[in-house]
Structure 1
Amino acid sequence: MEIIGAQVLNALMLACTYALVGIGFSLFFGAMDIVVFCLGDIAIAGAFCIMGLATLSGITAVLNGFLPQFAGNIIVIILGAAFAALLVTFMYRTVIVPFEGKNINASLLSTIAAGMAIRELLGIFYPEGRNPQAFPSLLPEGYMFNNTMLSYRNIIIIAVTVLIVLLLYWFVNKTKTGLSIQAISQNKEAAIMVGIDWKRMIILTFIIGGCMLGIGGFLTASYYGSLRFDMGSMYGMKGFCVAVVGGLGSIYGAIIGSLVIAVVEVCVSAFIPGGTAYASIAAFFIVVLFILFKPEGILGKKTVEKV
C-alpha cells in the first residue's frame, strides 16, 4: 500500500507540472483556434527569470532585508510570471498577428521557430546557460516526522495548481471579461457585433495565460530542483499532449488529460522493469490512440464543417 500511495502522489505531482501548460494550450486555442507551440519554452523562460532574480541579481537578499523571506520569494515569483506574460504577448504581436487571416500553417511554424529562438537565447545569454542549473529553493522543503520527510514543497505545488484552476474558473465563468473571452471563442463575429473589443480580449487572454505559464515553469523547476535551457521543448510537448487527450480548447479537459498522462507515465516507470526510459513513449502512444479513435479528446466536442 505504501508503494501505491507513493505512486499516486508522484502521479499527482507530475499532473500538476503538466496541467498549467496544458491549460495554456487550451486557453489560446479556444480564443484563436491556433496552437501556440512555444508555450513550454515561455514557461521555462519565466523560470529562468525567477532563478536569475533569485541568484544572479541577489534581489531576494535585498527584499528579505525589508520583508519576511516568504514575501520576498513571492515577489520574485510574481516578477517571473510578469516576464512570461510580457514574453508571450510579444510573441503574439510578432509571430501570430502578422499571419492572422492567412495560412494557418504559417502561424504554427512561426510559433515553433519562436520556441527554438527562446531556447537558444537562454543557452547563449544566461550565464553557463547550456549547463544544467540548480534551481534555488524558494519553497520550504518540509520537516522530518517519524523518519519520514513531510514535504511542504509538494503540498504547495498541489495547492497553487488547484488555486490557479479555481481562480481561472471564477474568472472565465463569473466575470464580464471572462464571459467576453468565452463569447469570442464560441463565435467571434457575433461577439464583435454586440460590441466586444476582441483584440483587447485576446491580449488579455495572452497576459493571463503568460502569468500562468510563468508560475507553471516555476513549479516544474521547483519540483525537479534543476533547470535546463532546452526543458521547454519536452515540457511544451507534454502540455500539448494533455491538451489533446483532454480535448483541445477545453480548460477542464486539460486537467483530466494531465492526470491521464501522469498516471500512464508513473505506472510505466514504477511497474515495468526499466520502464523509466519508456514512460514518455507510452504517453505519446496514448496521444496517438486518442488522435486515431477520439480526436476531440475526453471533454472536447465534435465539430461538423459544412462545405
Structure 2
Amino acid sequence: MSFSLFMQHLTNGISLGSLYALIAIGYTMVYGILRLINFAHGEIFMMSLYFAFYGVAIFAMPWYVSFIVTVIITCMLGMLVERAAYKTLRDSPRITVMVSAIGASFFLQNLAVVLFGGRPKAFPTVQIFTDVIKIGTVSLQRLTLIIPVATIMLLYSLLYLVNKTKTGMAMRAVSKDHETARLMGVDVNRTITITFGIGSILAAFGGIMWGMKFPQIQPFMGVMPGLKCFIAAVIGGVGNIYGAVIGGFILGIGEIMLVAMLPQLTGYRDAFAFVLLIVILLLKPTGIMGEKISEKV
C-alpha cells in the first residue's frame, strides 16, 4: 500500500471514528448519570436525519437553517423520550428500565416507518461539503476533514459545560449520588432531562454529518451505528467521556484499516466491532478508561 493511499484510508478512519465518538458520548453521558444504557439513542440519531431531510426537501429551508432546526427538534425529542420512558421508572428495578428503553427504541423505529415510509431516501447534499480537495497526493472530500474538527469543537464545548458551569456541576453531582445531590438542592429530574437533551444534540450533529457522508436514510438505519457506538463507549469505558471518544476512534480507524489491508474481509466489517468488544471485555472489562463501579444495595 502506497503512503498516499494509507493516508487516505487513515483520514477516512479518523472521520468515521469522529462520528462514532459523537454518538457514543450520548450513551456514556446517560450511563454516567443513570447507570443505564439509552437503547433508543440510535433511533434518535436516525430521526435527526429525517428531520434534516424534510427540512430541506419538503419545507425548502436553506441547509443551514434546516440543520439548526434539526438540532433543536432532536434535543426536544431526546428530552421527550426521557420523560416518557425513563422518568416514571426512576425508582424501578434496572431490568424494568432496560425493557422500557428497548421499547422506546422499537417505538421510534416503527413510528419512523409510519411517518416517513420504509423506502430509503437520498439525504440532501451540500456542495461546500462534498467538494473534493487534494492535499499532496491525497484526494479527500472536504467533509472528511470537517468532521474531526467539528467533533473536537463539540467535545471541548461539552467538557467546558461539564467542568465549568453550574449545570455541569449538577450533572457531576447526580452521577455520584442522586439522593445526596437532591439533599444539596440539585433538581435531579431536571439535570437528567438536560443530560438526555445534550446527548441528543450530539446525536443530531453526528446524524447530519453521517447523512452527508453516507447519503441514504431509512427507518432502521440507527440500529447498527447505535450498536457500534455503544460498543465504542464500552471499549473506552462506559461513563467516561474521553473513553467514548477514544473508543470511537479505535473502532472507526480499525474498521477502515481492516477493509483497506484485508479486502477479502470486507463482508466482516461489522463483525470487527463485536470481536473487538469481546476482546476488550476479556482483557479489561471496565474498558480502557473505565473504573469499577460498585452497585448500590
TM-score (norm 1): 0.90
SS in structure 1 at match of 2:292? coil
Alignment RMSD = 1.8
Structure 1 residue 296 corresponds to structure 2 residue 286: yes
Residue in 1 that maps onto 2:271? 281
1:44 maps to: 46
Give the C-alpha shift of residue 274 in structure 1: 2.1
1:125 aligns with 2:152: no
Q: Identify the residue that residue 95 of structure 1 maps to in structure 2.
A: 85
Conservation of the 8 A alpha-carbon contact between 1:139 and 1:222: no
SS of residue in 2 equivalent to 1:300: coil
TM-fit CA distance, 1:219: 1.1
Residues 15 and 148 in structure 2, CA contact (< 8 A), matched pair in contact too: yes
State whether residues 81 and 211 of structure 1, in contact with CA within 8 Å, keep that contact through their aligned partners in structure 2. Answer: yes
Residue 246 of structure 1 and its aligned partner are, at CA, apart by: 0.5
Q: CA deviation at 1:162?
A: 1.2
Percentage of identical aligned residues: 28
Q: Which amino acid aligns with 1:142?
A: D
1:110-158 CA distance string (max 9 Å, x none): 11121112112212221xx322211101361225558975522222222
Amino acid at match of 2:26: G
SS of the residue aligned with 1:226? coil
1:57-206 alignment to 2 at 5 Å?
A: 57-60=59-62, 73-126=63-116, 129-138=117-126, 140=128, 141-143=130-132, 145=134, 149-206=139-196
> 1:9-36, CA deviations, whole angstroms, 9 ceiling, x for partnerless residues?
1110110121111000000111111111
The answer on whether the counterparts of 1:50 and 1:80 sit within 8 Å (CA) in structure 2 is yes
Residue in structure 1 matched with residue 7 of structure 2 by the alignment = 5
1:32 alignment partner in structure 2: 34
Alignment: residue pair count:
293
- For residues 22-60 of structure 1, the C-alpha deviation after alignment (integer angstroms, 9 at most, x for no partner) is 000000111111111010110110111010010012122
Partner Cα separation in structure 1 for residue 140 and residue 221 of structure 2 = 28
Counterpart CA distance in 2 for 1:2 and 1:91 is 45
Once superposed, which parts of structure 1, at least 4 consecutive aligned residues long, lie more than 6 Å away? Answer: none
CA distance in 1, matches of 2:42, 2:132: 32
SS in structure 1 at match of 2:263: coil
| CA–CA separation in structure 2 for the residues paired with 1:197 and 1:167 | 23
How far 1:241 sits from its partner (Å)? Answer: 0.4
2:211 is the alignment partner of 1:211: no
Q: Distance in 2 between matches of 1:40 and 1:265?
A: 19
